[in-house]
Each structure stands twice: as C-alpha cells, then as structure tokens.
Structure 1
Amino acid sequence: MTDLAARPVPPPTGTVRRAAPALAGYAAVRALGLVVLAVWSAARGTSPHTLLSARWDSLWYTRVAALGYGYEVRLPNGDVHSNLAFFPLLPWLERLGAALTPLSYADAGLAVSTLASLAAAWGIFAVADHVYGRRTGVCAVLVWAALPVGVVQSTAYSESLFTALAAWALYAVLTDHWVSAGVLASLAGLTRPVGAAVVVAVWVAAIRPYVRDRGTSAVDGRPDDPVRRALGMLLAPLGAAGYVLWVGHRTGRGPLGYLDVQAGWRNGFDGGYAFARFAAAKFTSLASVPAGVGLVAGVALIIWLYVVCVRQGQPLPLLVYTGVVTALALGAASYFGSKPRLLMPAFPLLLPLARALARGRTPTSASVLGGVVVASAVYGALWLNGSGPL
C-alpha cells in the first residue's frame, strides 16, 4: 500500500519554483520579440532603445520623474495635454531607480517595466494555476507574452506594472489574503485609472461571502476574519482616491479636476459610442472595409471570450475585474488605436485559450504557440516602428 505521507507535496501556486517554467518561457518569448525588434529597427535605421524608452507616453512618464507635475502642452485647437493625466507610481519608481543607480530616468523606466513584466507573468501564472492548474498557468503566461501588442510589456509604459499589481491583488483575494489585496489594489490605483477595476473586484469579493453564506471564507470554507477583510476593503481605494483628490486640489476643481484633465486629452467615457462611430466609418470606403471588419471581429472575439469565461465558472473577482477593464477600454471616447494596449491587463480573458492549449496534445499546442509567438514578434517590431502604442 502506498504511503500517502511519502508522496511529494507540490509547492503552493504562488511559489517561484512552481512558476519557473512559465517565467522561463515568458523570458524567451519577450527576448525573441526584442531580437526581432532590433533586427527590424536596424534595417530601418531606427533605434530600438529609443522606441522602447523614449517615445509616446514614455516621454510623459520620464518628464514627470524628472520635473514633477505641472507640465502641459497647448495644442492649436485649444486642447490642453497635461501630465496630470499620468498616474504617479511609475514615475516615482523611475525617479527612485535613477537616484539609486547610474541609470537615466528613461532607462530606469525600462528596468522597472522589465522587472514588472516578470512579476506580472508570475502573478498571471499564480492566478491561472490556482484556478485551473499548472499547465494552464504556463499556457496563460505564454499567450499573454505573445499578444500582438505584447511588445508594450517591454516598453517604459505602465501596463506591465499595473498588470503585476492587479494579478497579485487578485491572487491575494482568491487566497484570502485581504490586507495584501488591499495594499496591492491601492498601488494599482496609483498606476493607472483602470485601477478602479481592482478596487471593485476586491470589494465585490469581500462582500459576497457575507451575503451568500454569512461570513464563511471562500477558501475551504474556513471561518473568515472580518477585521482583515474590512481592512483590505478600506485600503483598496486609497491610492486612486488619493491621487484624484490631489489633482482636484491642484487644479482647484475638486473631485472633477481629474475629469477636466482627461477632457483636455479628449479622453472620456461614453460607453463606446465614439468607438462605434469610428468603426462604422471604416465601412464608408472600400479601402477601409478590411479594417472595419477587423475591428468588429476583434470586439466580437473579446465579448465571446468573456462569455466563455462566465460559462466556465471563473471566480467572481476575475469576472468583475475583467468586465470593468474591458468596459473602460472599449468605452473610452478617444485614442482608438490604443484599445489593444488598454485591454492587455485583462489577462483572465486569455484563460479559456490557455485551457484549450493545456488540454491539447503537447506537439500541437507547441506548434500553435510557436506560430503565435513568431507572428507577435514580427508584428511588434512593425508596430513599434510605425504608429506604436499611442
């Protein structure tokens, strides 16, 4: 008879040893993307370092790190682009990195993004492994790394940092570590406006057990600590609320100040009306019809994946988080080319694909992933040398 006590016990889902294959695969995918970018950029006479660290929003973040807030650009049409639109955690980390090392602010931003992307991959693995198992966790990380706009994970942008904080906050919720969840949600709220999605997920998950089964924990039915749960709920919104209130005080507009700043960028929330008009306009000329079809197909795919997530019974915190991220990304009134980038933190949408790959035969899954990885690397190099993250 087999001695059950002698059987090896797998490490917890959040350990680095258990995540090692996923992290190694992630590093390999991103390394390939950077090699292809370097080759493509050399052929075009552009600098991959500049593309990764000193273009588009990266410039705004490094300017905040170097000079603080207060910089703005007034456009000929009267719009005002203020750096108050950019949340402070990434610039703070860039400033810290530049102060502690010989790195410039831009290179510190690249270092932060590199480390944060690995932390994000680890967090995604931890969540997927906890819910569906290790093989699905590895596949989820590889699919996230190989997104068409996955190269953003390697730029001095805040998506990797935000995804890392969000993923670990969700993992903390799933494992009943409420204070950690609240702290991580607060930090996510200092990183991007969509930090609200993490806050809502923490709140809904914290309240639901008391409504459903009167104070029983979501983990193995153990009795819950209501004090720690309440503390997590209290901590979660502090980051976002603190920054928004500070911007309101600085602009003299109170709680509406940050909305005014976003309006200066023509970036608000209209429930997707402007995006729908943008997509519909693609069908007004024969040359742009393929782009219109691609947009419609992309949105349909996202909605379908979310429906599959619901049908597969993903935990409520993941569904709430993904729903809010997706709604904010698709419902934004401007910067339509940025929507794939804005959707990148919605990693639970990828779990149905990861499960399908995990259930498939290894050679087949490897072939599919290999093709997607190569396509992502080529597209990332082309995109970064063109319109870029916007």
Structure 2
Amino acid sequence: MLRAGTPAGKHDERASRPVPAALRRAAPALLAYVGTRLLGVVVLSVWAAVAGKSWHTLLSARWDSIWYSRIAEEGYGYTLRLPDGSVHSDLAFFPLLPWLERLISAVTPLDAPDAGLAVSWVASLIAAWGIFAIGDRLHGRRAGTALVALWAVLPVGVVQSMAYSESLFTALAAWGVYALLTGRWVWAGSLAALAGLTRPVGAAVIAAVWITAAVALSPDGRWRRPWRAEHRRMLLGVALAPLGWLGYVAWVGVRTGSVTGYLDVQAGWRNGFDGGVAFVRFVWGLLAGPAFPAGLGLLVGVALLIWLFLRCVRRGEPLPVLVYAGVVLALALTAKGYFGSKPRLLLPAFPILLPAAAALARLRTSRAALILAWVGLASAAYGAFWLNGTGPP
C-alpha cells in the first residue's frame, strides 16, 4: 500500500533531531560523497592536463554554465541565431542559479562562473544530505548512506561538480520531498517554489506536494474539509508550491508578448515535450544503423530505469517519493531534442536508486565499499572523458 508520509500535525522524533545530531548521523554518507566527487575532480584534472585543457574551465565555463553566468552578469536578453534556423534565447534558463551567482559575485571576490561553481559544490553536499535523510527515514542509516553513494557514482555524477543547476535543484527537491514525508507542508511548498525557479522539472516537486495533499485530504475517497490548523498549513504549502514555476513562465510570457512564450522559447532550442515520439525515433535510428550496439544499450538503460521505478512502487515507497521520481522520469523520457543530455536530466531522479541502495545495504561493509570504489573510479574516468569531448552533457 502506498504511504503518504507522516500525517500533518504528527510528531516525528527522527525528523526533529537537532542539526548537529542529524549531521553526525549523515557524516559517513557525506564523507563518501565528498570523497567520490574529489576523485572525479582529480581524474578530470589529470585528463584535462594531458589534453591541454583546463579542468576549471570544463567545470565552470562551458555550455550551459556560460549561459547562466551571462545572465548573472548582464541580465536576460541574449539571443543566439544559428545557421540551421535555431534561435537560442537565454529565457530558456530559469533564474535562481544566476541570481545566486550575481549575489555571490557582488559580495565576494568570485566572478560569476566561480560563484556558480561554489553554488553547485555547496548545493551538491546539501543535496547529498537530503538524499541521505530520505533513505535513512525510509530504510535506515545504511540504506541512506548507500543511496548517497550510488547517486555520487552515477556515470553522469560529474555534473554535480559543474556550474549547472542540477545540484541546486536536487538539493531543493530532496529536502522538499523530505518535508512532505515529515508533514512539514509550508516548508515543502516553499522548497517546491524555489525548485520551480531553478529548472522546468520543478513541476515534479509541485506535483508531489499537490498529489500528496489531495490524498491526505481525501481519505477513503471522501473529501475532508480543511478546518484544522494542520490542514490550513497543508493548503498554504499547496498554494506556495507553484509560485516559482508559474511566476517565471508568466514573466517569460509577458516578456515575449505571448501566453505560450516559454514553450516558444523551448521550441527555438528545438526542445519541448512530444510524449517520447522523437526519442523513440532517435533510438530506432540507432538500432537501424551501424550504431546498433549504442541503440541496444540505450534500450537496456531505459528498461532498467522503468524497472527500478516499478520496484519502488512494488516496495510501497511513500507517495511523495513515487510522484516526484515518476514525474522526473516521465519528463526526461518524453522530452525531444538533446538526447545526449537525457542522462543529466535524470540525475535528480535519485529515488529510483532506492531498491539498489537497500540491496547494497544488506552486503558486508567491506564488500559494499569495494563495489562502490570500483564503480566510483569508472564513473570518474567516464566523467573526465565526457567533459573532454565536444558535445555538452
């Protein structure tokens, strides 16, 4: 049976630990995370030096990072027109990361790219803590630590160390989902609003808040009138949740003079959502040509993702976790364009790693550590190879 989390108003001792105690409990997971990310940066720096490149530039000033830092320095309004007819507008990028870059560069010696790197590094650590908190709450400390370690060693984990918005978004989303699990509705709504200012997939956190609240307010299919104080807090969280996402999309609409302004901007990037039709065509094109092994590997990867999500459903993971992970997964797989970026778009979908984390937690510590060490080294090498390539992650 699906669980909605702690009912509003119920006291939860695990959720009310003092911050120092919660940090001590999370320390092994955070140390494992920091070690993995340091390994990734070291391997990247060696690889980049051999290739005659700068690891710092690869992490802070390439691809999307350049767009974010330009917004931080000059504001919105830059448009790039490509020979193929594509129109790349900076309005495609949500504003929270460049706002933070501008704030930090205004009060510290850091320029915008380095401020973005600082935000990403700090946010990734906060994200790891939130991911641990969810895993610990659901399946215990070992599973929480394993969940963080698995998130750190993902093949695209290097993005967690880049001046991209994935780390910031995952931090807000993880703690937003945790707030739902512990009945903190105002916090959940506020974090959902901030997540909605960070990436379009902020819709996943909003959906988690709304659907969890709808289920909590309608036990056994009977709508319950929200007269009690905890229900009023729930409705406040529901009202807060979409403000960031809707606010930015509405602002883009006003700026472009069109109700569909944000969708038009995405179309200029040849991006958007088509139910997965373009992705299916892309995979079919690989399978029908000399890149058949790549197409087959991609099919296996998608099947694995869906299987992991279904395992989460069968295991009875709480409703906020399932809604959030399911929406992130669906949005990533049904988006068209930039197919090479899909692994990065899936990075915030950490809850689908819960079955693997639970299995890893059952192993002896030495065996689990050895597995994670080898996978972490492979991930670091893959990340270095990926960033030293020509295409954006």
TM-score when normalising by structure 1: 0.93
Query: Contact between 1:81 and 1:261, CA under 8 Å: does it hold in 2?
Result: yes
1:253 is matched with 258
The separation in 1 between residues aligned to 2:23 and 2:268, in whole angstroms, is 43
CA contact (8 A) 1:181 1:236 kept: yes
The residue identity in structure 1 corresponding to 2:315 is Q
Corresponding residue for 2:5? none
SS at match of 2:80: strand
Residues 330 and 10 (structure 1 numbering): CA distance in 2 closer, same or farther, change over 3 Å?
Answer: closer
Match of 1:81, SS state, is strand
Aligned to 2:334: 331
Residue 315 in 1 paired to residue 318 in 2?
Answer: yes
The answer to whether the Cα contact below 8 Å between 2:79 and 2:87 also exists between their aligned partners in 1 is yes
Taking the aligned partners of 2:15 and 2:280, their CA distance within structure 1 comes to 47
Match of 2:346 among 331, 336, 343: 343
Q: Which residue of 1 aligns with 2:100?
A: 93
Conserved? CA contact 1:121–1:141, under 8 Å: yes
1:1-390 equivalences in 2 (<5 Å): 15-212=22-219, 225-254=230-259, 256-285=260-289, 287-387=290-390, 389-390=392-393
Q: List, as ranges, runs of 4+ consecutive aligned residues in structure 1 with deviation greater than 3 Å.
A: 9-14, 213-216, 387-390
CA deviation profile, 1:338-383 (whole Å, cap 9, x unmatched) = 0000000000011111000001122221221111111101101111
C-alpha contact 1:81 1:265 (8 A) present in aligned 2? yes
Q: Which AA in structure 1 matches 2:247?
A: G
Give how far 1:210 is off: 1.9
Contact 1:85 1:262 in 2 (8 A): yes
Percent sequence identity is 64
| Unpaired stretches in structure 2, ≥5 consecutive residues | 1-12
C-alpha distance in 1 between matches for 2:166 and 2:15 = 29
Q: Which amino acid is 2:345 matched to?
A: L
Residue 269 of structure 2 aligns to which amino acid in structure 1?
W
Unaligned runs of 5+ in 1: 1-8, 217-222
Q: In the comparison of the two structures, how many residue pairs are matched?
A: 374
The answer to whether the 8 Å contact 1:116/1:160 transfers is yes
Measure, in 2, the Cα distance between the counterparts of 1:166 and 1:345. 8
Report deviation, 1:224: 6.8
Q: Deviations over 1:242-278 (max 9, x none)?
A: 0000000000002x11000000001010111101110
Q: RMSD of the TM alignment (CA)?
A: 1.6
**Residue in structure 2 matched with residue 4 of structure 1 by the alignment:** none
1:163 CA displacement: 0.2
Deviation by residue 1:287-318 (Cα, 9 ceiling, x = unmatched): 31110111101101101101111011110111
Which of 82-91 and 311-320 deviates more?
311-320
2:10 corresponds in structure 1 to none
How many Å separate the matches in 1 of 2:332 and 2:177?
Answer: 19
Contact persistence 2:14–2:137 (CA under 8 A): no
Q: CA deviation at 1:10?
A: 7.5
Distance 2:372 2:219 in 1: 40
Tell me the amino acid that sits aligned with residue 131 of structure 1: L
Whole-Å separation in 2 of the counterparts to 1:389 and 1:178: 37
| Alignment TM-score, normalising by the size of structure 2 | 0.93
Could you say if the C-alpha distance between residues 237 and 349 of structure 1 is closer, same or farther in structure 2, counting changes exceeding 3 Å? same
Contact 1:341 1:389 in 2 (8 A): no
Contact 1:37 1:381 in 2 (8 A): yes
Structure 1 counterpart SS, 2:273: coil
